Amino acid sequence: MNFDAHPLLVLKQLRQHYGDAVSCTFSVYEYQPQSIDDKRQSFSVKISEVTYAWLESVLAGLPPKVELALHSNVILEGKTLHIPMVDFATRSRAQLPKLKEFLGQKIVDSILWFDSGRSFHGYAATLITEIEWIELMGRLLLANKPNQTPLTDPRWVGHRLIAGYSALRWSCNTRQYIQIPQLVTVP
């Protein structure tokens, strides 16, 4: 598998900026359509240990129908911070720039977009505080204008607010998903 276009790129950028003191959170989960429950088994990994070999090993070891996700919440110097994440609601790449007015310059300047097969996932290669994360989630909901096709997935935002962190899939181990997320350019 080619990991050069995988969301692992975001963690490589974060490591370059923040160093090896970052501890990342991942989870394994089974997708349950239209469920309110979000049952996951979470685990922490030092950012320096999240390598191509580590990811290949974790993906190869996933049981059938189980997916791997990166969480937004990281620990740096004893503080919980968040990686800004977005789950886009449409397949239209041309719609991605519309989120710029809602994300704020700090996030827009560092965001990388990945085609997840059914939608786009966005990650900003910067860290934000818990308060900034909550504001970001509210902004993602406000990006969805009345009587228009949503830009962001409101169910994803709801699940993530309930959980207290964002999470985006890094694998493709069930029929629900089409592909492992791959880096795309934005018009």
CA distance 31 to 39: 9
Helices 130-142, 154-163: axis angle to 10 degrees equals: 160
75-88, pLDDT tens digit by residue? 999 999 999 999 99
Q: Which of 18-22, 44-48, 96-100, 168-172 has the lowest mean pLDDT?
A: 96-100
CA distance 42 to 58: 13
Residue 172 pairs in a beta bridge with: none
CA distance 12 to 164: 24
Burial of 141 (0-12, 13-18, 19+ CB in 10 A): middle
Which residue is listed with tokens 């999240």?
50
pLDDT at 33: 61
Average of per-residue pLDDT across 95-108: 82
44-95, pLDDT tens digit by residue? 999 999 999 999 999 999 998 899 999 999 999 999 999 999 999 888 888 8
* Region label for 139, one of left (φ > 0), alpha (ψ between -120 and 50) or beta (otherwise): alpha
> Does residue 9 register a pLDDT over 70?
yes
119-174, pLDDT tens digit by residue? 899 999 999 999 999 999 999 999 999 998 889 999 999 999 999 999 999 998 87
Mean per-residue pLDDT over the chain, rounded: 90
